[in-house]
Amino acid sequence: MSDKSTQISELLSPTVQALGLELLGIEYLPAPGGATVRLYIDVQEAERETRHVNIEDCEAVSREVSAQLDVEDPITGNYTLEVSSPGVDRPLFTLAHFVRHVGESVKAVLKLPQDGRRRLLGKIVRVDGQDILLDLDGHDLLVAFDNIDKARLVPDWAALGLAPEKPGGGKKKADSNPSSAKKPAPGKKAARKPSGNKKQSNKPAASKPRAE
């Protein structure tokens, strides 16, 4: 995460935790028309086998976080606040997230290239201290966690029962692009709460299919 994302995450994490949820991480995306602050939340680890984040969770976090941001005022200018469930292609923000998903495939973008590459696609083999060992199609690459700009899991569509069948089959692969979903699933909602001279616009965020 960027320094600003880390700052906001450390500020808001206790608030989200007080609601019985976990703040996985924050994306802070500055833009000329106003920044986007996207929070990814999940239920506590002990509950993940029995329930998932729902719209009510996102709305509760939105209300509390909006109020805190109004008071603490860590963001300059206009911004859009979004509160989201992680989805099946969940982002990985911490070393603990990589440890939790050892054996799964991940897409990563590096801050500085390694082996002449900044974009990587491979399986998480293990985490060694502050380094992550990735299997890139049979080629092992040790990547420093601090060199990872962003990373997301690559869903195993077959394991989720969502892999496409051969031509003529009736099953289609679920669209990992939430904006194309015809019927959004619960668990992801944008938030808005105008405050002072800052404008938090309501930019709807469609849901991603979710499976754990």
pLDDT score at 76:
85
Quick one: 82 and 148 in the same domain? no
Quick one: 17 and 55 in the same domain? yes
Residue 117 domain-assigned? Answer: yes
Query: Contact, 61 vs 19, CB < 8 A?
Result: yes
pLDDT score at 128:
95
Query: Contact, 66 vs 186, CB < 8 A?
Result: no
Exposure letters 67-86 (e unless 16+ CB within 10 A, then b): ebbeeeeebeeebbbbbbbb
Quick one: 14 and 71 in the same domain? yes
Per-residue pLDDT of 148-167, as tens digits, reads 999 999 988 776 677 666 55
Quick one: 16 and 64 in the same domain? yes
What domain range is 112 assigned to?
A: 95-153
pLDDT score at 169:
53
Q: What is the pTM of this model?
A: 0.74
Total of domains in the chain: 2
Please tell me which residue, 33 or 60, carries the higher pLDDT value: 60
The proportion of the chain whose per-residue pLDDT surpasses 90, expressed as a percent, equals 63
Residue 44 domain-assigned? Answer: yes
Domain holding 8: CATH number? 3.30.300.70
Per-residue pLDDT of 8-51, as tens digits, reads 999 999 999 999 999 999 999 999 989 999 999 999 988 888 89
Give how far the C-alpha of residue 209 lies from the chain's centroid of Cα atoms, to the nearest Å.
13
Residue 50 domain-assigned? Answer: yes
